[in-house]
Amino acid sequence: MSVRTTKFHEMKRAGEPIPCITAYDYPTAKLADAAGIPLILVGDSLGNVVLGYDSTTDVTMDDMVRHTQAVVRGARKALIVADMPFMSYQVNSDEAVRNAGRLVQEAGAHAVKLEGGAAVAETVARITSAGIPVLGHLGLTPQSVNQLGGYRVQGRTLPQAQRLLDDAAKLEAAGAFGIVLESVPGLLAQVVTDGLQIPTIGIGAGIGCDGQIQVLHDVLGLSNRIPKHAKQYADLNKIIEQAITAYAGDVRGRKFPTDEHSTEIDVAVMRELQSGASLDH
């Protein structure tokens, strides 16, 4: 049985840190699930790290549905949260509910995530009223990067910090089961966390959040650039490049395939074939 959203409230009350990670396909979701990750996010960051887009704003609902389906097939225990992509919830709450429903009904997600605070609180309330759990997202919101003036830490000024606190309270009141805090000063994230009954999940927001989330490709060393907030636990870029280079070298040197990797055929069949005899008898 999959982890339920109530599990994360229990973990917050118990002071148990919540490890979360992104995944975008079947094999990585299967590995994350086997590692005991309780929450897997199918992030719209797939646009940057998997699909080669310049930003998350290029990701479509069809992209999110297809990748969420793959992750759901790979993970049997984790709660699967699917990002609502740019313009899938900003037009009006009716369209937001419809798109959230598509991610649950068609893609198999257990919950959805959307960015913003007070401006989307009514939308969050509508989606949760429809029976779909919502994970909020405050601080650096990548879908608004053009408005924010780039990928910058948020909440450093008094107005920004106060707005973050207010937005968090509004999301909790609207029914969000948790909030991602991205690129927020650690002390501010701690204040937000302490003021909420629901858990916070940090990414570049310090140790004081109830949980942490990272992009899988950053953790595995598959990204071209590792952001400051990430820790690289492996260097798969180097390992994969070495493996492919070795494979190509073996092919060019006729060292692969060998008899070990080939299939045999009955000698009598080969004799008939080589003698020109018909095999249709």
The one-letter amino acid at 195:
G
User: Taking a C-beta distance cutoff of 8 angstroms, is the pair 209, 201 a contact?
Assistant: yes
Strand partners, 202: 181, 212
User: Taking a C-beta distance cutoff of 8 angstroms, is the pair 70, 24 a contact?
Assistant: yes
- The reported pLDDT for the residue numbered 234 is 96
Q: Quick one: CA torsion of 272, 275, 278, 281, rounded to 10 degrees? A: -40
- C-beta contacts of 91-97 below 8 A and 24+ residues apart: 93/122, 93/123, 93/126, 93/127, 94/126, 96/123, 96/126, 96/127, 97/126, 97/127, 97/130, 97/132
- Confidence tier at 145 by pLDDT (50, 70, 90): low
- The reported pLDDT for the residue numbered 274 is 86
**Residues annotated as catalytic (active site), given as ranges:** 182
- The reported pLDDT for the residue numbered 227 is 87
Over residues 192-246, the pLDDT tens digits come to: 999 999 999 999 999 999 999 999 999 999 988 888 899 999 999 999 999 999 9
Over residues 38-95, the pLDDT tens digits come to: 999 999 999 999 999 988 999 999 999 999 999 999 999 999 999 999 999 999 999 9
Which residue shows structure tokens 């302490």? 194
Q: Where are the domains of the chain?
A: 5-234, 239-275
Q: Which two tokens stand for residue 113?
A: 């995530």
Over residues 5-32, the pLDDT tens digits come to: 999 999 999 999 999 999 999 999 999 9
Q: Would you give the end-to-end CA distance of the chain in angstroms?
A: 55
The residue among 128, 59, 62 whose CA lies nearest residue 93 is 128
- Average confidence score pLDDT of the chain: 94
Over residues 91-139, the pLDDT tens digits come to: 999 999 999 999 999 999 999 999 999 999 999 999 999 999 999 999 9
| 1 pLDDT higher than 90 | no
- The reported pLDDT for the residue numbered 256 is 96
| 180 pLDDT higher than 80 | yes
Q: Which CATH architecture has domain 5-234?
A: Alpha-Beta Barrel (3.20)
Rounded CA-CA distance 211/98 in Å is 29
